[in-house]
Amino acid sequence: MKLRHSRVREIAHSATGPHGRERPGLGGRHRRGPVLAAAALLGAMGLSVTGIASASVAAPARTASPAASISPATPAAGQPDFGPDVYIFTPSMPQSQIQATVNSIASQQISNQFGTQRYALLFEPGTYGSAADPLSFQVGYYTEVAGLGSAPGDVTINGTIDVYNQCFPTTDGSSNCIALDNFWRSLSNLTINIAGQTGCQSGTDFWAVSQAAPMRRVSITGGNLSLMDYCSAGPQYASGGFIADSSFTGGTVINGSQQQFLVRNTSLDGWSNGVWNQVFAGDPGAPAQSFSSTSGLANGTPPYTTLATSPVTQEEPFLQTSATGADSVFVPALAHNSSGPSWASGTEAGTSIPISKFFIATPSTPVLAIDAALALGRDLILTPGVYNLSAPILVSRPNTVVLGLGFPTLVPQNGNAAMQVLVGQGVKLSGMIFDAGPKTSRVLLQVGNPLTAGITSPSDPALVQDVFFRIGGATAGSATDSLVVDSSNTILDDIWAWRADHGAGAGWTTNPADTGLVVNGSNVTAYGLAVEHYQKNEVIWNGQNGEDIFFQNEMPYDPPSQAAWMSSPTTDGYPAFLIPAGVKSFTGYGMGSYCFFDLGVPIQSATAFSVPDTPGVRLNDVFTRFLNGSGSINHVVNDTGAAVNAASPGPSDIVSYP
């Protein structure tokens, strides 16, 4: 039956009840790959504080729902209403009903690349499945799977939670089974004891994903974790991923065909191979540093960039439920020079924020109501759905937490920003997608502004985590810049900014966008940064004392001519990563840029990385790679590094610069 429930939860311990085109060719990744016056706001809306409280629990309009077996349940008194697309399971529910529900959602979402449906599947503390009767299911697009415990061990799944290849039709009858389009899904805060798999899949949990599919706070025991699906037909490509704050014991992480991957603050029992760019930061058990001038799978030298510690981290806030059923959001503490998971030693440092402190918004909530609640001191939870915004969400106070459930997607409608953070200090943004809208926005997300950039502290950084941007793809749109960071002391942790190369409105003149990321603040640290296909510089880093650990880029596929893609009258193309001359200090590790100019035009890019020649600016383990098509990248950094082209695809590696 179709469900119209807002919360599937056990009350008093009794059960109540489109894909993109693929590009065949080489073994590369050829895919479609200022503080507001609250009273003024309230007066303009005719709302009171009581009115806002009521709006915070209003249920959204339902757009679609899969058939499933869990019956609707009304939240108990004092419990929040997260809307109809947040499913909360308890251990006492019949497993057959849980299995039917997650299977139904998966069957809808596995191929639903650009659909509007969004889901969060949340598991209260306890054990689900057994060796004899495992709970195993797949995770499709726009699906968040998370435990609600205070630590990953509080929720145990005996079974598997998997992402497999998608097999797309071809005109020549060949197989085209890949993970290159497996985006926009997540897994967090639970333990998987691998059980129930047979045959080729035996003893393995599969997480065959590319960008925007983070795994956080996950413990996997009793088998392997494979980042590729080697059991389907070929070619089995995967490209790009992010794992943090996790632990894998009793098995190996099989990297397989993953061309690039970042693992941060995670305990490893083993790691197999790598293709071009595998980066480890603060990972006990990680393979030793081995990136060299001839690294790469084809050359027999693993391309491992390994840092003993992560310089500064703060793990992502998460929703949790106590033994008495009280919900809160836990904000882990800041850490410096850390190694291993934040929860490994037992009690985790951090702060718990009661759910009553949060304004809970739905796609039908007026943006002015959201802004008023934020100005009045509330934090914000965005429930699943697509938010068409006539004005920006204004995060007007320091230390505000904005948490997305089930990949809420923010779409500006009037050329506005989707979200503006007015004072960056301590603000935490996580788990959301920003889509460009029908009118060109100057920026989709702005963190800080020039007037407030100095109101920051290294002890209380801004956090932007699991936040993803799209220019076109799901809907036609345009924006000049996707993410602008004006605030100093900011941590960027798993960012994918994508100018679409397939889907709706994908074309040189139909989804224009200059730059994915502009960093103006100082002391900004980035992990897991992926920026692709923008028409000018993909990243411009203006701030001092910046650090980037892992960068993955594809230049735009579709410049129609060399004349249309010139950064100066005499310079072909645009560097993917630009550090202007005024920057005196920057450090980068594990940074790669690829080209696939696919219109048959011999497009040239003079260099992939443009940096000032100064002792304070250093790049480590950087490279370029020709994927397919025509043209070339002529240098890696400035005028250094061999060209990559059809005759010499690379990778062209530089161990350190200068």
* C-beta separation of 515 from 541 below 8 A: no
Distance, CA of 530 to CA of 513 (rounded, Å)? 16
* C-beta separation of 208 from 141 below 8 A: no
Distance, CA of 494 to CA of 314 (rounded, Å)? 12
| 3-state percent helix, strand, coil for the chain, nearest multiple of 5 | 10, 40, 55
Q: What is the DSSP string of 508-576?
A: TTTS--SEEEEE-SSSEEEEEEEEE--SS-SEEE-SSSEEEEEEEEE--S--S-STTSEEETTEEB--S
Distance, CA of 178 to CA of 168 (rounded, Å)? 8
Instruction: Sort strands 334-338 and 310-314 into parallel, antiparallel or unpaired.
Output: antiparallel
Degrees to nearest 5, angle at CA 229 with 224 and 233 = 140
Q: Return the bridge partners of 483, or none.
A: 445, 517
* C-beta separation of 438 from 413 below 8 A: yes
Tokens of residue 118, six digits? 């969004």
Give the residue carrying structure tokens 């632990």.
247
Q: Which letter does DSSP use for residue 355 in this model?
A: G
**What are the distances in angstroms from CA 626 to CA 58, 555, 597?**
51, 10, 9
3-class DSSP state of 279:
strand
Q: Return the bridge partners of 221, or none.
A: 193, 249
Distance, CA of 71 to CA of 108 (rounded, Å)? 19
Active-site annotation holds for 538: no
Q: Which letter does DSSP use for residue 328 in this model?
A: E
262 phi and psi, to 5 degrees? Answer: -115, 130
38 phi and psi, to 5 degrees? Answer: -65, -40
Q: Catalytic one among 22, 124, 316, 554? A: 554
Distance, CA of 87 to CA of 5 (rounded, Å)? 8
Tokens of residue 211, six digits? 């960008």
649 phi and psi, to 5 degrees? Answer: -70, -15
| Number of neighbours of residue 133 by Cβ within 10 angstroms | 13
* C-beta separation of 414 from 390 below 8 A: yes
Distance, CA of 585 to CA of 135 (rounded, Å)? 50
3-class DSSP state of 200:
helix
Q: Active-site positions?
A: 554
